[in-house]
Amino acid sequence: MDNQDLNFLDAIRMAIEAEESAAAFYEEAAKKTENPLGRELLEQLADFERYHHTNLLALEDSLCNNGACILYEGRELTFPVPDEIEEIKQADKMSAIGIIEAAIEIKRKAEERYAALAEQTADPNGQAMFERLAEEEHVNRHILERAYWSLNNRGVWVQPQ
């Protein structure tokens, strides 16, 4: 393993820690959110980050033991379709907006990190994995941006699409 491989592993380890922190953030935010739709979104984001964490750990293990990247099967957020969009209290709106703003920033940084990792690896499986991770973070950021807009401008949580 050369110095470039160690830097790549260091970057993966940083991504592992970031996913762990993001999952903890979303879990805590879900506990603070009274709105059921908002809580469901945050719980699913926490689960999503745990999924990324697990796959990055598998990648780290494979690189250390086999010197090869793993195949990564991505996933998408899924939500039940609500009967109606729920109104929320103004007080909850302000705390929810702060949570969503922080979540958007987490997603933006993760997207950038995975795009950079995709460029750092020559392994096709590694490139595909990091490109997919970057795309998943991009999609999730877009979902959060829509939730932010709706909550800020309409005072309601919207069903992510």
Three-class DSSP category at 87:
strand
Residue 97 pLDDT level (bands cut at 50, 70, 90): confident
CATH, residue 103: 1.20.1260.10
Token reading at 83: 């009967």
Q: Is a pLDDT exceeding 50 seen at residue 12?
A: yes
User: In this predicted structure, what is the pLDDT of residue 91?
Assistant: 43
Q: Give the pLDDT confidence of 13-25 residue by residue, as tens digits.
A: 999 999 999 999 9
**Under 8 Å between Cβ of 144 and 104:** yes
Q: Give the pLDDT confidence of 55-84 residue by residue, as tens digits.
A: 999 999 999 999 999 999 888 877 554 443
Number of other residues whose CB lies within 10 A of the CB of residue 94:
12
Would residue 159 count as lying in a domain? no
d(CA 123, CA 119): 10
Residue 115 pLDDT level (bands cut at 50, 70, 90): very high
Least confident of 39-43, 48-52, 128-132, 157-161: 157-161
pTM of the predicted model as reported, rounded to 2 decimal places: 0.79
Would residue 44 count as lying in a domain? yes
Residue 35 pLDDT level (bands cut at 50, 70, 90): confident
Would residue 27 count as lying in a domain? yes
Q: How many domains does the chain have?
A: 1
User: In this predicted structure, what is the pLDDT of residue 152?
Assistant: 82
d(CA 43, CA 25): 10
d(CA 144, CA 8): 29
Would residue 75 count as lying in a domain? no
Would residue 86 count as lying in a domain? yes
Would residue 21 count as lying in a domain? yes
Mean pLDDT of 122-136: 92
Would residue 142 count as lying in a domain? yes
Residue 3 pLDDT level (bands cut at 50, 70, 90): very low
Alpha helices in the chain (DSSP H): 3-32, 36-66, 90-120, 124-154
Structural domain span for residue 119: 3-70+82-154
User: In this predicted structure, what is the pLDDT of residue 159?
Assistant: 61
Which percentage of the chain shows pLDDT scores above 90?
A: 48
Would residue 125 count as lying in a domain? yes
